[in-house]
């Protein structure tokens, strides 16, 4: 089996490296057996949640619906978070096919320099496959501190359970899989996948963060576009074949997407249908890669369909419930009669997708002295030193929010009723592409929302002016911890 995998991968590599693939082809929903009305109901349900960023549905290899909620767009990469894990799994499968490693290899084999002086029996028994199926034997996930070697921390962490017997979602385990690929091939997972996966699929300029040791993060950190997610899902739906070439061994696709570890029994939860090699099993015979706050690559073999979604939701199950309840019934076995009215209604819904900007007046109340004044803040953990609101911009009521943070001035242009794109560094996030909108939601309250368009995150500033005082109350929409802190109070200079 290993020789056949290796031959397939090498042939695919030689044939595919010469040119990138075309975009996915497009098709009419009804011609592909999909009800436009059902897609529209799904899109309207997603729009009501007000946290979707993009959606793309592929049926029989053709994109039958696609849309982006402004200010998000088709050309901008989006952080995948744990959906990255499925790409790392693919790298392990390709390295195994090339004979660089085996899923049966002990993890300790690759890191003798980082191993404890006296490894436990359970640590010695931990294999690459245990990393992939989230059954390392840990009781809790090892940390990834910036000032230590992550592989050494992982290997020094207690392993109280026999590997293979205990499911624990373990992002550090995926990082170890990435580090193993780098040890075995001499390349980061990002560089290793470029000619073998990204280039053949036409995934341009993927970005993947790295650890302090220069290892691709593996379990998170990859950023690609919505269509790239759909292409990846379509590759797996086609059992690893792309444009007539076997990019990923069919045997690996089967192993990675089947149940490898049981993780619960709730029939209504898509998180308790079992786990494969960095893929979740799902209801309705589907499987998926997914990431925090609602990044999805859902593969539906029984329906010959792929659903790609980027979003910023707190309830990830709600996205899948919406797909199963509204979208799935519209996927029919045979082509449907043309339905021009439903098709146009769907097209209109997709054209009008937009995140809701703050709604309110173009200017503060006449007695409120806010615009053009600089307000200073005492030293604080957020390092906000000063704030000023300047009038003017792309349309009536546009403003520029001027912040001085840690000695640096940051200007954030905000449209009114529409999104104005720029670059911004807000709420502790590094400077990156952003879009912002603002409105006076009360006579003395300016509400500004800054959307970080390459991520799920946005920051809403509620700024209240009271005479010579200003109170700034920022809130992040989603987070792994608290979404808001104590308000900051400043005084006019």
Q: pLDDT, tens digit, for every residue of 435-455?
A: 999 999 999 999 999 999 999
198 within 8 A of 242, measured Cβ to Cβ: no
- Smallest Cα–Cα separation from 32: which of 58, 13, 54? 58
Please state, as a whole number, how many other Cβ atoms lie within 10 Å of the Cβ of residue 200: 24
- Whole-number mean pLDDT of the chain? 94
Enumerate long-range contacts of 99-106, CB under 8 Å, 24 or more apart.
99/2, 99/6, 100/181, 100/184, 100/185, 101/128, 101/180, 101/181, 101/184, 102/2, 102/128, 103/127, 103/128, 103/129, 103/132, 103/277, 104/128, 104/129, 105/180
132 within 8 A of 177, measured Cβ to Cβ: yes
In terms of DSSP bridges, do strands 287-291 and 25-26 run parallel, antiparallel, or are they unpaired? unpaired
Q: What is the DSSP letter of 360?
A: -
* Residues 59, 65, 69, 70, CA torsion sign: positive
**Structural class in CATH, domain 374-492:** mainly beta
Residue 72: pLDDT band (50, 70, 90) is very high
Residue-level pLDDT at 22 = 83
Whether the pTM exceeds 0.85: the reply is yes
- Smallest Cα–Cα separation from 470: which of 410, 388, 400? 388
pLDDT higher than 90, residue 425 = yes
pLDDT higher than 60, residue 6 = no
Angle between helices 84-97 and 2-16 (to 10 degrees): 110
CA distances to 92, 136, 451 from 361, rounded to whole Å, are: 55, 56, 20
Q: How many angstroms separate the CA atoms of 259 and 28, rounded?
A: 34
Boundaries of every domain in the chain:
2-351, 374-492
Residue 15: pLDDT band (50, 70, 90) is very low
> Which residue has tokens 């001027």?
402
pLDDT in tens, 451-480: 999 999 999 999 999 999 999 999 999 999
Same CATH fold assignment for domains 2-351 and 374-492: no
pLDDT higher than 70, residue 2 = no
412 within 8 A of 426, measured Cβ to Cβ: yes
Q: How many angstroms separate the CA atoms of 220 and 209, rounded?
A: 8
Residues 6+ apart with CB under 8 A from 194: 206
Residue-level pLDDT at 21 = 59
Compute and round to an integer the Cα radius of gyration of the chain.
25
Structure tokens, 61: 């290899």
Residue-level pLDDT at 396 = 76
Residue-level pLDDT at 213 = 98
Please state, as a whole number, how many other Cβ atoms lie within 10 Å of the Cβ of residue 63: 20
In terms of DSSP bridges, do strands 458-466 and 445-452 run parallel, antiparallel, or are they unpaired? antiparallel
Structure tokens, 40: 């529209």
CA distances to 70, 249, 419, 437 from 352, rounded to whole Å, are: 9, 41, 14, 17
pLDDT higher than 80, residue 388 = yes
What's the whole-number mean pLDDT along residues 327-352?
98
What's the whole-number mean pLDDT along residues 355-361?
96
> Which residue has tokens 């500004």?
448
pLDDT in tens, 149-178: 999 999 999 999 999 999 999 999 999 999
Residue-level pLDDT at 50 = 82
Q: How many angstroms separate the CA atoms of 461 and 474, rounded?
A: 4
Residues 6+ apart with CB under 8 A from 378: none
pLDDT over 90, % of the chain: 93
What's the whole-number mean pLDDT along residues 40-44?
98
User: Which residues partner with 386 through β-bridges?
Assistant: 376, 404
pLDDT in tens, 85-131: 999 999 999 999 999 999 999 999 999 999 999 999 999 999 999 99
Q: How many angstroms separate the CA atoms of 251 and 4, rounded?
A: 10
DSSP-based three-state secondary structure for 363: coil
Alpha helices in 186-328 (DSSP H): 189-193, 199-201, 226-237, 250-257, 316-322
**Structural class in CATH, domain 2-351:** alpha beta
- Cα-based angle 127, 132, 135 (whole degrees, multiple of 5): 70
Please state, as a whole number, how many other Cβ atoms lie within 10 Å of the Cβ of residue 420: 22
> Which residue has tokens 């989603």?
478
Residues 6+ apart with CB under 8 A from 141: 168, 169, 170, 171, 172, 173
Q: How many angstroms separate the CA atoms of 348 and 67, rounded?
A: 11
Structure tokens, 260: 């490898």
10 Å CB burial of residue 19 (0-12, 13-18, 19+) is: exposed
Q: What is the DSSP letter of 100?
A: S
CA atoms within 13 A on the CB side of 101: 27
Residue-level pLDDT at 11 = 39
222 within 8 A of 193, measured Cβ to Cβ: no
120 within 8 A of 160, measured Cβ to Cβ: no
pLDDT higher than 90, residue 13 = no
Residue-level pLDDT at 18 = 34
Residue-level pLDDT at 1 = 35
pLDDT over 70, % of the chain: 96
């Amino acid at each position: 089996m290993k020789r056949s995998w290796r031959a397939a991968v090498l042939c695919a590599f030689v044939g595919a490296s010469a040119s990138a693939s075309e975009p996915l082809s497009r098709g009419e929903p009804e011609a592909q057996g999909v009800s436009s009305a059902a897609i529209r109901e799904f899109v309207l349900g997603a729009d009501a949640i007000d946290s979707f960023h993009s959606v793309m549905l592929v049926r029989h290899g053709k994109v039958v619906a696609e849309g982006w909620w402004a200010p998000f767009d088709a050309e901008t990469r989006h952080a995948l978070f744990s959906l990255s894990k499925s790409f790392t799994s693919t790298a392990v499968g390709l390295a195994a096919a090339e004979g660089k490693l085996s899923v049966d290899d002990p993890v300790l084999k690759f890191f003798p320099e980082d191993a404890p002086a006296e490894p436990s029996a359970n640590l010695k028994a931990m294999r690459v496959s245990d990393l992939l199926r989230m059954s390392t034997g840990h009781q809790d996930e090892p940390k990834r501190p910036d000032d230590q070697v992550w592989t050494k921390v992982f290997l020094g962490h207690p392993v109280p359970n026999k590997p293979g017997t205990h499911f624990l979602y373990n992002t550090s385990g995926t990082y170890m899989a990435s580090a193993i690929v780098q040890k075995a091939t001499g390349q980061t997972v990002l560089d290793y996948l470029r000619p073998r996966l990204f280039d053949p699929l036409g995934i341009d300029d993927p970005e993947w963060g790295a650890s302090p040791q220069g290892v691709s993060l593996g379990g998170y950190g990859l950023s690609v576009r919505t269509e790239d997610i759909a292409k990846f899902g379509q590759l797996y739906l086609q059992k690893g074949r792309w444009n007539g070439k076997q990019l990923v061994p069919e045997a690996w696709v089967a192993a990675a997407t089947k149940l490898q570890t049981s993780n619960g029994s709730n029939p209504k939860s898509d998180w308790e249908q079992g786990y494969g090699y960095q893929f979740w099993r799902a209801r309705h015979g589907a499987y998926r890669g997914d990431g925090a706050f609602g990044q999805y690559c859902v593969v539906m073999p029984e329906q010959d369909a792929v659903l790609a979604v980027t979003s910023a939701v707190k309830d990830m199950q709600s996205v899948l419930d919406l797909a199963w309840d509204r979208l799935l019934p519209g996927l029919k076995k045979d082509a449907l009669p043309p339905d021009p009215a439903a098709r146009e209604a769907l097209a209109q819904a997709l054209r009008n997708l937009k995140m809701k900007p703050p709604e309110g007046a173009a200017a503060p109340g006449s007695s409120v002295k806010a615009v053009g004044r600089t307000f200073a803040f005492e030293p604080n953990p957020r390092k906000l030193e000063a704030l000023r609101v300047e009038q003017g911009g792309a349309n009536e009521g546009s403003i520029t929010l001027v912040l001085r943070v840690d000695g640096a001035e940051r200007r954030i242009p905000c449209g009114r009723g529409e999104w104005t794109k720029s670059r911004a560094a807000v709420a502790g996030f590094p400077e990156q592409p952003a879009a912002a909108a603002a409105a006076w939601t009360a006579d003395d309250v300016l509400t500004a929302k800054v959307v970080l368009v390459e991520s799920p995150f946005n920051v809403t500033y509620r700024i209240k002016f009271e005479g010579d005082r200003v109170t700034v109350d920022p809130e992040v929409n989603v987070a792994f911890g608290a979404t808001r802190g104590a308000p900051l109070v400043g005084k006019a200079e």
